Structure 1
């Protein structure tokens, strides 16, 4: 998979999630990002099973790490707020 760029991986993910979800993603991108991804998508002729599996596995791993980070960040934030503001005020935020 080392020969795939970030753009290539993004294209594979976008093509995997279907038109409606891909359109939702595009709504949140800059014009330049949309142009880059659109050009890359237009040039896709084939995606191998290995490429698809590798990209999805990498995405899953990154998503799990991000989710773990967010959970820890939320716990940390709650702890800081309780220490700074007290239980009642922290709970109201």
Structure 2
């Protein structure tokens, strides 16, 4: 996610208030808070988007099991979707 940091200071990983997560660049609605799930990575994880067009995804060239995820409106980089890494081992979106 664009608001995530790798250095363990990610403030939204353990943030559980209800609401909508939005892109930090253009405020496009991305994920509802009810779609957030517990995960072992330092980043927050979601299994559903707010809108069908909330995200754009492209295959990650260096990995056959990951997709690069972008904001569906402005193209801001949001992170990765790893196949079979969602709740219950299913793909996320």
TM-score range, shorter chain: under 0.3
Higher relative contact order (CA 8 A, sep 6+): 1
Structure (1/2) with the larger strand percentage: 2
User: Which structure: larger Rg?
Assistant: 1
Return the TM-score normalized by structure 1. Answer: 0.25
Return the TM-score normalized by structure 2. Answer: 0.25
